[in-house]
Amino acid sequence: MPQTMPILDEFHYHQRLRQTPGKTLVLFGSATCGTCRLAERRLPDVVPPDIRLYRVDVLVSQALARALEVFHLPSLFLYVDGHYHARLDCPLTREALSGAIDLALALPPQEEP
Protein backbone atom coordinates (compact mmCIF):
# COMPACT_ATOMS: atom_id res chain seq x y z
CA MET A 1 0.00 0.00 0.00
CA PRO A 2 1.49 3.38 -0.98
CA GLN A 3 2.50 5.72 1.81
CA THR A 4 1.35 9.28 2.15
CA MET A 5 3.74 12.21 1.84
CA PRO A 6 3.56 14.55 4.83
CA ILE A 7 4.40 18.17 4.07
CA LEU A 8 7.52 19.80 5.47
CA ASP A 9 7.93 23.55 5.64
CA GLU A 10 10.95 25.78 6.15
CA PHE A 11 10.23 26.14 9.86
CA HIS A 12 10.31 22.43 10.71
CA TYR A 13 12.31 20.89 7.85
CA HIS A 14 15.61 20.05 9.53
CA GLN A 15 14.04 19.28 12.91
CA ARG A 16 11.62 16.75 11.42
CA LEU A 17 14.34 15.12 9.32
CA ARG A 18 16.65 14.79 12.36
CA GLN A 19 13.81 12.95 14.11
CA THR A 20 13.33 10.55 11.20
CA PRO A 21 15.55 7.45 11.42
CA GLY A 22 16.65 5.53 8.35
CA LYS A 23 16.38 6.60 4.73
CA THR A 24 14.17 9.51 3.73
CA LEU A 25 13.30 11.06 0.38
CA VAL A 26 12.09 14.64 0.19
CA LEU A 27 10.27 15.76 -2.94
CA PHE A 28 10.49 19.47 -3.71
CA GLY A 29 7.69 20.52 -6.01
CA SER A 30 4.82 22.88 -6.63
CA ALA A 31 1.09 22.47 -7.09
CA THR A 32 1.38 24.61 -10.23
CA CYS A 33 3.90 22.23 -11.85
CA GLY A 34 2.34 19.37 -13.79
CA THR A 35 5.50 17.25 -13.60
CA CYS A 36 5.60 17.82 -9.82
CA ARG A 37 2.00 16.68 -9.42
CA LEU A 38 2.78 13.56 -11.47
CA ALA A 39 5.89 12.86 -9.34
CA GLU A 40 3.85 13.29 -6.15
CA ARG A 41 1.29 10.76 -7.36
CA ARG A 42 3.87 8.27 -8.69
CA LEU A 43 6.53 8.39 -5.98
CA PRO A 44 4.61 6.54 -3.21
CA ASP A 45 4.09 3.61 -5.60
CA VAL A 46 7.73 3.27 -6.69
CA VAL A 47 9.72 4.08 -3.55
CA PRO A 48 11.22 1.10 -1.69
CA PRO A 49 9.17 0.24 1.41
CA ASP A 50 11.99 1.07 3.86
CA ILE A 51 12.12 4.73 2.82
CA ARG A 52 10.08 7.50 4.43
CA LEU A 53 8.63 10.17 2.13
CA TYR A 54 8.09 13.88 2.67
CA ARG A 55 7.31 16.73 0.33
CA VAL A 56 7.97 20.46 0.28
CA ASP A 57 5.84 22.95 -1.64
CA VAL A 58 8.38 25.45 -2.94
CA LEU A 59 5.73 28.13 -3.34
CA VAL A 60 5.06 27.97 0.40
CA SER A 61 8.68 27.40 1.50
CA GLN A 62 10.57 29.60 -0.94
CA ALA A 63 13.37 30.45 1.51
CA LEU A 64 14.06 26.75 2.09
CA ALA A 65 14.09 26.03 -1.64
CA ARG A 66 16.56 28.87 -2.20
CA ALA A 67 18.76 27.77 0.71
CA LEU A 68 18.93 24.23 -0.67
CA GLU A 69 19.50 25.50 -4.22
CA VAL A 70 16.37 23.91 -5.66
CA PHE A 71 16.28 25.36 -9.15
CA HIS A 72 14.62 22.52 -11.05
CA LEU A 73 11.30 20.95 -10.20
CA PRO A 74 10.64 18.35 -9.14
CA SER A 75 13.77 17.65 -7.09
CA LEU A 76 14.45 14.67 -4.85
CA PHE A 77 16.79 14.80 -1.86
CA LEU A 78 17.99 11.70 -0.02
CA TYR A 79 18.62 11.83 3.73
CA VAL A 80 19.94 9.07 6.00
CA ASP A 81 19.24 9.27 9.72
CA GLY A 82 18.36 12.93 9.27
CA HIS A 83 21.58 13.84 7.46
CA TYR A 84 21.67 14.98 3.85
CA HIS A 85 23.18 12.38 1.56
CA ALA A 86 22.53 13.33 -2.08
CA ARG A 87 20.24 14.87 -4.66
CA LEU A 88 18.74 12.20 -6.91
CA ASP A 89 18.10 12.64 -10.59
CA CYS A 90 16.39 9.63 -12.14
CA PRO A 91 13.15 8.52 -13.76
CA LEU A 92 10.42 7.71 -11.26
CA THR A 93 10.28 3.99 -11.85
CA ARG A 94 10.87 1.39 -9.16
CA GLU A 95 14.04 0.11 -10.85
CA ALA A 96 15.55 3.53 -11.63
CA LEU A 97 14.81 4.96 -8.20
CA SER A 98 16.18 1.91 -6.37
CA GLY A 99 19.32 2.03 -8.53
CA ALA A 100 19.83 5.76 -7.91
CA ILE A 101 19.38 5.30 -4.15
CA ASP A 102 21.80 2.35 -4.07
CA LEU A 103 24.37 4.30 -6.08
CA ALA A 104 24.03 7.37 -3.84
CA LEU A 105 24.37 5.25 -0.70
CA ALA A 106 27.52 3.58 -2.06
CA LEU A 107 29.18 7.02 -2.22
CA PRO A 108 30.13 9.21 0.72
CA PRO A 109 27.44 11.67 1.86
CA GLN A 110 27.53 15.08 0.25
CA GLU A 111 27.24 18.39 2.04
CA GLU A 112 23.80 19.89 2.00
CA PRO A 113 23.63 22.69 -0.55
For residues 72 and 58, the answer to whether their CB atoms sit within 8 Å is: no
Neighbours of 60 (CB within 10 A): 14
- The tally of domains found in the chain comes to 1
Higher-confidence position of 1 and 66 = 66
Asked whether residue 113 is domain-assigned, the answer is no
CB 28 within 8 A of CB 56: yes
Q: Which of 41, 112, 110 is nearest to 74 (CA)?
A: 41
**CATH code of residue 82:** 3.40.30.10
Tell me the torsion sign for CA atoms 6, 76, 41, 30: positive
Across 79-96, average pLDDT = 96
Domain that holds residue 68: 13-106
Look at residue 4 in the predicted model and tell me its pLDDT.
74
Q: pTM (2 decimals)?
A: 0.94
Residues 3-59 pLDDT 10s: 679 999 999 999 999 999 999 999 999 999 999 999 999 999 999 999 999 999 999
In terms of Cβ atoms closer than 10 Å to its own Cβ (0-12, 13-18, 19+), residue 54 is buried
